[in-house]
A and B are shown apart, each in its own frame.
Chain A
Amino acid sequence: MSLRILVVDDEETILFAFREHFEPLGYEIDCAQELEEAEALLSHVRYGLLIADLRLTGSQSSEGLELIRYARERSPWTRIVVLTGSGSEAMKSEAMDRGVDAFLEKPRPLGELAALAANLLERTA
């Protein structure tokens, strides 16, 4: 299982925090802020885990759903965790329908996310 994690969020601080927290734990972290960037990476790099927000451009967007669909098609081996700040009920059920491994709302302690990642990547933390 690849220990490479792709984190997708438009908030730079969040990406920074993830890198700071996960790299010492032995993961390789790639960060993307745009949908196309994430998709381009997923096409050419093998990730074990994708952690993504649903909204990447403002409060009405839903790139996350697109990304989930792309990931399921192009890299089915990649586990998916949605971590979002403001999903509606409709978006949540849509995401679950598309087959994500976990759907969480911000904020969440990073320790909890690390445990979840370890779980999904079948590795002891």
Chain B
Amino acid sequence: MHFRDTAESALEDSEERYRAVVAALEEGIVIHEADGTVVSCNASACRIFGLTEEEVLGRTWLDPRWCLVREGGAPFPLEEHPATVTLRTGEPRSQVVLGLDRPDGGRRWISINSRPLLRPGDTTPYAAVLSFSDITSRREAEEERGRIEERQDKLQQLISRSALEWRLTFDALGSPLLLLELDGRIIRLNEAARALAGVRFEDAVHQPLAALGAEPPWPAVQALAERVAANAESATAQAHERQGRTWDISVNPVAGPGGERWLVVVLLDITDVVKLQESLRRSETMSAMGALVAGVAHEVRNPLFGISATLDAFESRFKNRSEYRRYFDVLKERVHRLSILMQQLLDYGKPLRLEPSAESPEEVMRAAAAACAPIAAGARVEIVEEPVTDLPSLEMDRNRVVQVFQNLLENAIQHSPPGSRVTFRAEGAGERVRFAVEDSGTGFRAEDLDRIFEPFFTRRRGGTGLGLSIVQRIVEQHGGEVTAANRPAGGAVMSVLLPLRPGQVPSRPGF
């Protein structure tokens, strides 16, 4: 008896300890009998299932109320249920992940280990013990991380592509563009900027602006950048390359995404615009002056005729008085000179209307030279024509253009020493023909070069100063250009560029 009591109580103690241990476990423990019925479960299992002990006991794992799903959400095939497998095969299963839907609507993920319970000597288990833990939060965290990583990947791709597009755009822009730090160090500069400065990317990036050189327009860019950095306000300026293009510089402060402050520098080539504006201003001045001049000429002509007519009358009445002769001569000559000046002024003031026709450059040159032949002979200066062969025919107002060349040749003759030569050239220049009149006189003073086309500008006594202004007007009316320069060998050269057709402005890239 005593022995039996001890053994029973020992067993009872042992069961009691077992039960306490099982009950205290965080993991859920469920025991399925061979027919699948749940015969035992612990508190954690109930907690995880969201069910009471009564609801759990008596269910089999086939019970549809479990709502078992596998990863991905598809229903869990019951033949793969760890309990099923273990009970069938006697093999344990580990870390099988199941999702189950609780009656309160939540889905929990559990990781299940199953072990067979075997009686000694049996190969078929009489029960399976399932232990499982709730891995829902861990799973969610993993999913979240997966999503984050995916997003980051996408973002990375987007950024890479974006950067590429931006860089391509940046470089494709014809206008030089620079991105600077506030202190003027170069963050980026596009292809056009690199070309303008003549530097490679690696030599410029992170360098101060000074690294781009001391040639215009960079000093102006630097000065402007400093100003904008100090004032935090956009600003523009213009810079003129020596004998080259005119740039419009604009510097704008911008804020970067992280609050950094940068400067964006844009350069625009406004050379053509400036030229056009000057030409327009000239022609507006011309119109205003033309009207003024015509008015003056009329006002002056009448009293002038009054004087000359009275002189005529006086002379015819007193022509027999020889003592008056020289007074008549002086007065008449002066009046005549005034009349010529009035005529020139009136011509100058007339609006210019071209009558174009197709002409051969050689023929026009010959005509102008022939017209100057007497003056040339008188000054003992030789005119030599040197047109290249096969010059294209130009559409021009023949009379006006002959007038232009005649004027230039006369000027050249007047400035040439006796015995010297004036060379009259012509050659093709793309869509235009370039004519040049060269002399070996004293050339132009440097300070005069910008002004010689101004009306009334003359260093010659007795000249009206209108000749070159008229020349410029006629040439520009044809859509051409006239420039003056000194020859390196001494003397002056006047160049006239005429397009094939009047008014045809040649296209300029990059504008």
Contact = CB atoms under 8 A, between A and B. Distances in A.
- Do A and B share a direct contact in the complex (Cβ within 8 angstroms)? yes
Given A11-B303, A13-B303, A106-B304, A21 B309 contact: yes
A59 B309 contact: no
Contacts of A110: 309, 312-313, 316
A32 B415 CA distance: 51
B307 interface: yes
Interface in B352-381: none
Contacts of A10: 302
| Most interface-central of B301, B304, B305, B310 (chain A CB within 10 A) | B305
A85 interface: yes
A111 B316 CA distance: 8
B305 A106 contact: yes
Interface residues of B, number: 23
Nearest to B308: A107
A12 B335 CA distance: 18
A20 B302 contact: no
Contacts of A24: 316-317
A105 B301 CA distance: 10
Interface stretch (B68-76, B292-300, B443-451): B292-300
B506 interface: no
Contact of B301 (A16, A18, A20, A106): A106
A106 B313 contact: no
Contacts of B298: 55, 59, 85-86
B313 A21 contact: yes
A14 interface: yes
Nearest to B314: A20
A17 B304 contact: no
| Most interface-central of B294, B307, B309, B317 (chain A CB within 10 A) | B309
B339 interface: yes
Contacts, number: 72
Interface residues of A, number: 23
Contacts of A108: 305
Contact of B295 (A12, A17, A53, A59): A59
A12 B306 CA distance: 8
A107 B486 CA distance: 41
Nearest to B338: A107
A109 interface: yes
A20 B309 CA distance: 10
Nearest to A18: B309
A107 B310 CA distance: 11
A124 to B, nearest CB: 17
Nearest to B307: A13
A18 B339 CA distance: 19
A20 B306 CA distance: 12
A59 B299 CA distance: 8
B498 interface: no
A13 B306 contact: yes
B408 interface: no
A35 to B, nearest CB: 16
B313 A14 contact: no
A32 to B, nearest CB: 16
- Nearest first, the 8 A-B pairs at minimum CB distance are A13-B306, A85-B301, A17-B309, A86-B298, A110-B312, A20-B313, A21-B313, A107-B305
Interface of B: 294-295, 297-299, 301-310, 312-314, 316-317, 335, 339, 346
